[in-house]
Amino acid sequence: MFSEANVALLAQIVRQDLLKAIGETMFMTFVPTICAFAIGLVLGVILVIGEEGGILPLPKWLMRVLNTVINLLRSVPFLILLVVVLPLSRLIVGTTVGTKAFIVPLTIAAFPFVARLVETSIREVDQGVVEAAQAMGASPVQIVRKVMIPEAKPALIANFMVALITIFGYGAMGGILGAGGLGMLAINYGYYRRRELVMYTTVALMILLVILFQSVGDMIVKKTDKRIR
């Protein structure tokens, strides 16, 4: 594994491709996470406030449709969803290959998962606080903006990091189909060429990035959680 050829190839990759691959990985991680969280936040809030007994009950058929769509998308394996959504990627970004093309399937794969995480976070908000806001005459929109989301902020931030790390892993799998990033380095240079040193080094770097993401997320959660002082 530590042969001269393997070490030379690793040095070449570090000089020529590593920074680009890290940049592509960050792009494929943060852009879909932000998009998925924006969609998932709206859906997660609707799933809570729109249910029977919620602060803004919606028609039962609409709630059933939302829950069904979210459950169906969550049940589809990512690689299958990736192939199915590629035509949509071509329609939106003009191509099915490369980093930009994978933003669409990554977002679609992640937002149902995020919606359930947001739903769980919002449900953890003390109902006494919500009822007090209702008693004071706050509208549903005001309750969501000034009570539910602020009270659930630590859990939402923690779940954002969960989504970020999940999408990071999805993006690495996308390297099989030419998504770019660290996943493509590990597969093309490491696995296909049987250069274990390259593959293990790339995997180790991805693990370090996950640890960094989680550490930053934990630090932010601790600063925003009123219960931790």
Question: What one-letter code names the amino acid at 64?
Answer: R
190-207 per-position pLDDT tens digit:
666 666 777 778 888 888
Q: Which residues contact 106 (CB under 8 A, 6 or more apart)?
A: 28, 32, 36, 167, 170, 171, 174
Question: What one-letter code names the amino acid at 129?
Answer: V
Task: Enter the pTM of the model.
Answer: 0.84
Are 70 and 148 in contact by the 8 Å Cβ rule? The answer is: no
What share of the chain in percent tops pLDDT 90? 17
**Interatomic CA distance for residues 171 and 178, integer angstroms:** 10
Q: What pLDDT band is residue 6 in, cutting at 50, 70 and 90?
A: low
pLDDT at 173 over 80: no
Instruction: Compute the C-alpha angle 195/165/170, nearest 5°.
Output: 55
Q: What's the mean pLDDT in 21-26?
A: 84
Pick the CATH number of 4-224 from 3.30.930.10, 3.90.10.10, 1.10.3720.10, 3.10.105.10: 1.10.3720.10
pLDDT at 10 over 70: no
Full 3-state SS string of 133-169: HHHCCCCHHHHHHHHHHHHCHHHHHHHHHHHHHHHHH
